[in-house]
Amino acid sequence: MDIYKIIKRPLQTEKSVADRDKHNAYHFEVDKKANKIQVKQAVEKLFKVKVDGVRTSINRTKSKKTKYGYTKVQLWKKAVVTLEEGNTIDLGS
């Protein structure tokens, strides 16, 4: 799998910013088929940093009410990447 297709986008939430400041951990939306080893290799090659650990979770499909009825929000996969001491990623924020 191509490393540019594994990492879809960085997540900018209050929780991700707090993790970044406290634990040097970055949150990314990743491809649903990517495993932890592929995510680790992609982050190391794209951002030129050393990765200490990767945790992944799948956010399940939810039903949302709209003015046209109910619809489903697609499931997606999140990866929390912890970097080694002294490494940082500049996300432009």
pLDDT in tens, 16-34: 999 999 999 999 999 999 9
pLDDT value, residue 67 = 93
Q: Considering only CA atoms, which of 37, 47, 21 is closest in space to residue 79?
A: 37
User: CB neighbours of 15 closer than 8 A, spacing ≥ 6?
Assistant: 27
Q: Any idea which architecture 3-83 has in CATH?
A: 2-Layer Sandwich (3.30)
For the chain, which residues make up each domain, given as ranges?
3-83
pLDDT value, residue 51 = 97
pLDDT value, residue 91 = 86
pLDDT value, residue 93 = 61
Contact 26, 80 (CB under 8 A): yes
Which run of H or E residues covers position 42? helix 36-47
Q: Which residues of the chain have pLDDT under 70?
A: 93
